[in-house]
Amino acid sequence: MVSLPLINLMKSRSLIFHLAILNLKMRFKSTYLGFLWAALEPLLYFIILYVVFTSIRETGENFAIYLITGVMLFHIFARGTSGGLVSLTINVGIIKSVKIRKEIFPVIATGSTCLFLFVQIGVLFGLMPVFDFVPSWTIVFLPIVFGLFLVLVLGASYLLSTLYVYVKDIQPIWNVLVYALFFVSPVLWRLDEVDGILLEIQKINPIGQIIELAHKVVAYGEVPPLNEWLYAAAFVFGILFFGYAVFHRCQSKIVEKI
């Protein structure tokens, strides 16, 4: 019987928080700017893309906020899933020497993603006055979008970390897929600007759906219809339970395969 991972790990929330902080410290340990890179990376991506796209075409109203919202979410998605993918293998010493629930490690990776998210929310709100943007009241729905986003990262991390234990080729394959997802997600383009295959891909692209929900509540000042919320929620929770089911089924063999 598959149990609910978040309920099982509630008693370990303090440990998860401290290990997530440690994870971030180790990630930026050898850099001069340290944790500042959590804010600088998406900001630099945004500046480059903003300069390029405003130079070559008409971008429309509130393009800067539209762009930074998409860049921020996609950057954290790429970071979070890449960290989740290796979350078991980089902790092989702990897994083999300490009696600890293996399912905790993808959650720790997602916890680090959550901390990244808080930093980049600050970047988003810091850029609003720069571009004379006053958010609508609809921005109160943004925490729901972020909640769905973290569920997606956790589900993907459970699945990817399990697959990576068995097949190391998953890492380069996932890197290519993430690169492709960036261009087929509504980060650089708007849904009303495209048709055909991009719209069809958007229907099965969970990160694209979440980015579009964020665009509506932040850049457009709209409340997405209930069916869009339900569709995105069903998709990301489906990924979570599928990813955890695969993890749960394989976890007894992880130690010998890792």
pLDDT value at position 14?
Answer: 67
Q: What is the tens place of the pLDDT at every residue in 197-251? A: 888 899 899 999 999 999 999 999 999 999 999 999 999 999 999 999 999 888 7
**If you average pLDDT over residues 13-23, what whole number do you get?**
67
DSSP string, the chain: -PPPHHHHTGGGHHHHHHHHHHHHHHHTTT-SSGGGHHHHHHHHHHHHHHHHHHHHS---TTHHHHHHHHHHHHHHHHHHHHHHHTTTGGGHHHHHHS---TTHHHHHHHHHHHHHHHHHHHHHHHHHHHTT----GGGGGHHHHHHHHHHHHHHHHHHHHHHHHH-TTHHHHHHHHHHHHHHHSTTSS-GGG--THHHHHHHT-HHHHHHHHHHIIIII-----HHHHHHHHHHHHHHHHHHHHHHHHHHHHHHHH-
Instruction: Read off the pLDDT of residues 150-177 as tens digits, 9 standing for 90 and up.
Output: 999 999 999 999 999 888 899 999 999 9
Query: Is the whole-model pTM more than 0.75?
Result: yes
Q: Which of 56, 82, 70 lies closest to 172, judged by CA?
A: 82
Residue 155's pLDDT is what?
93
Positive or negative: CA dihedral 143, 191, 110, 30? negative
pLDDT of residue 35: 67
Task: State the residue for tokens 């997602």.
Answer: 110
Q: Which amino acid is at 35?
A: F
Q: What angle do CA 105, 101, 21 make, to 5 degrees?
A: 35
- Return the top range by mean pLDDT from 10-14, 27-31, 65-69, 194-198: 65-69
Distance CA 139, CA 108 (A): 28
Of 142, 87, 141, 144, the residue nearest 110 (C-alpha) = 87
CA distance 195 to 179: 21
The count of residues in the chain is 258
Q: What's the pLDDT at 195?
A: 83
Contact 136/65 with Cβ under 8 angstroms? Answer: no
Give the C-alpha separation, 235 to 230, whole Å: 8
